Amino acid sequence: MSLVPRITVHATELAVEYVDGRFTRVLGPGRHRHPRRARHERVRTADRLTSLAPQEVLTSDGLTVRVSLAVRWRVSDARTFLEQADDAFDVVYLAAQVALRDALITLDADALARHGRRELGGLVLGPAREAGAGIGVEVVDAVVKDVILPLDMRSAYAELATAKVRGAAQLEAARAETAALRSLANGAKLLEDHPALARLRLIQALPAGSKVEIIAPQ
């Protein structure tokens, strides 16, 4: 039985080793010798998802919207992550906030409502990655979760959608009526061109048991 102290590092973490306050090495998953006077700081390496609190930001047309953002990230350099900042992700958080505000000021509310979510995520990702690179953080993705427009604008969009549905229904009804009238006109023309067919159609329309007197033409 070995009396040499050991440290176990799990699969989803790294351990940064310091001896007498000085950095010595980064330990990957597995069992490692534990030197005397060594201290180990464990750093989780699995992907993390952090949501930014909803941001109230002005659009290019002066409307205030609320936007929420989620950032997926992981530690890429365990030592830098521990040593460069008290809370390394705060640096990424701030960069994402600023990038989100800078991106929103270039879009009006209508463009934001239609396709802003896709655009905003891409515009935030670059600055967030750049900020994370210097503190041992790899930003994997940035996704805009919600875009909340002012109440009056949401009401206007709802009215617009309702009007479009009503218009489509009215157009379909007009098309059906036009088709019916065209069919009637074609039928009338056919009966006009074929009198015998008209008489036959008249006989078919009479109630059962009715007597029909056919008068030969003079």
User: Out of 29-33, 34-38, 81-85, 201-205, which region has the weakest mean confidence (pLDDT)?
Assistant: 201-205
The enclosing H or E element of 59 equals none
pLDDT tens-digit map of 11-51: 999 999 999 999 999 999 999 999 889 999 999 999 999 88
pLDDT tens-digit map of 110-141: 777 666 667 778 888 999 999 999 999 999 99
If one counts every other C-beta atom within 10 angstroms of the C-beta of residue 152, the result is 8
Provide, rounded to the nearest whole percent, the portion of the chain with pLDDT above 70. 73
Place of tokens 């030969």: 216
SS3 at position 103: helix
Alpha-carbon span 186 to 182, nearest angstrom: 6
Q: How does the average pLDDT of the chain come out, rounded?
A: 80
Looking at residue 136, what is its pLDDT? 93
Alpha-carbon span 75 to 89, nearest angstrom: 10
Token pair listed for 142: 């940035």
pLDDT tens-digit map of 149-180: 766 655 555 565 566 666 666 777 777 778 77
Token pair listed for 133: 């690179």
> Does 90 have pLDDT greater than 80?
yes
